[in-house]
Amino acid sequence: MRFYKTLFILTVLLSNVYLLKAQGTSQFQVNYVPSLPMGDVADYSGNFSFRGVNIAYEYHLTEYLGLGIMTGVNTFYEDVKGVESVKVDIDGKIVTLSGKRYNYTNSIPIMATGNYYLSPEGQIRPYIGLGIGGYYVMKWTEIGQYQVRDNGFQFGLAPRVGMLKPLAYGLDLHLAAQYNAGFGEDPFSSLDFMIGFAWKF
């Protein structure tokens, strides 16, 4: 009896997966992501960044709800005016470095995502979403030929609003804005603006 129950459950699950696949419920995205640094990131490397990209995969549980994963990279920098002097610890010795200073922040998000779509397939689809995961943040200062680095991983959340606009069969234009909120010491935060394409299969 237990065998037949298990067989029945597996049959139902496989049938649902087959039906979902038949409806074309997977989606792959590639986005160009300019970004505005905020908070501590803006204080350290405050220039608006035009150097960002992300990729995402999403599986639609229903026509209106999708779950997926997302990663990418954003690079922020600031050219500090004038000559700077900083004291750093090198092998247990306090050393003063002087020279032209450049500050950099790179962020690599690694997120599980959930998106809820407000309209059905075949038309413009606004949506709201949330990413849960973290950011691997690489911060460094260059002074002359020297670098001072501070890398670490932060837990984070990424609320998002966006839309998909059909362009052709299986291809959508994707537009979105996303706020990145890291937590911990020296938290990472930024506002992303995404433009890209979504392929359905």
Higher local confidence (pLDDT), 68 or 21: 68
- pLDDT band of residue 22 (cuts 50, 70, 90) is very low
List the domain boundaries for the chain. 25-200
Q: Is 18 exposed, middle or buried (0-12, 13-18, 19+ CB in 10 A)?
A: exposed
Q: How far is CA 186 from CA 83, 109, 154, 160, 166, in A?
A: 25, 16, 9, 23, 40
E strand spans, the chain: 26-32, 35-37, 52-60, 65-90, 93-117, 125-143, 146-168, 171-182, 189-200
Q: Give the model confidence (pLDDT) of 122-155 as tens digits.
A: 899 999 999 999 999 999 999 878 888 899 999 9
Dig out the tokens for 112 from the structure: 């599980």
Q: Give the model confidence (pLDDT) of 79-122 as tens digits.
A: 988 787 777 777 888 888 888 889 999 999 999 999 999 999 88
Cross-strand pairs, 137: 107, 152
Torsion of CA 55, 42, 114, 51, to 10 degrees: -10
- The model's pTM: 0.81
Cα 181 to Cα 199: distance, rounded to the nearest angstrom: 28
In CATH, what is the architecture of 25-200?
A: Beta Barrel (2.40)
DSSP SS3 for 5? helix
Scanning the chain, the segments in alpha helix (DSSP H) are 2-22, 39-44
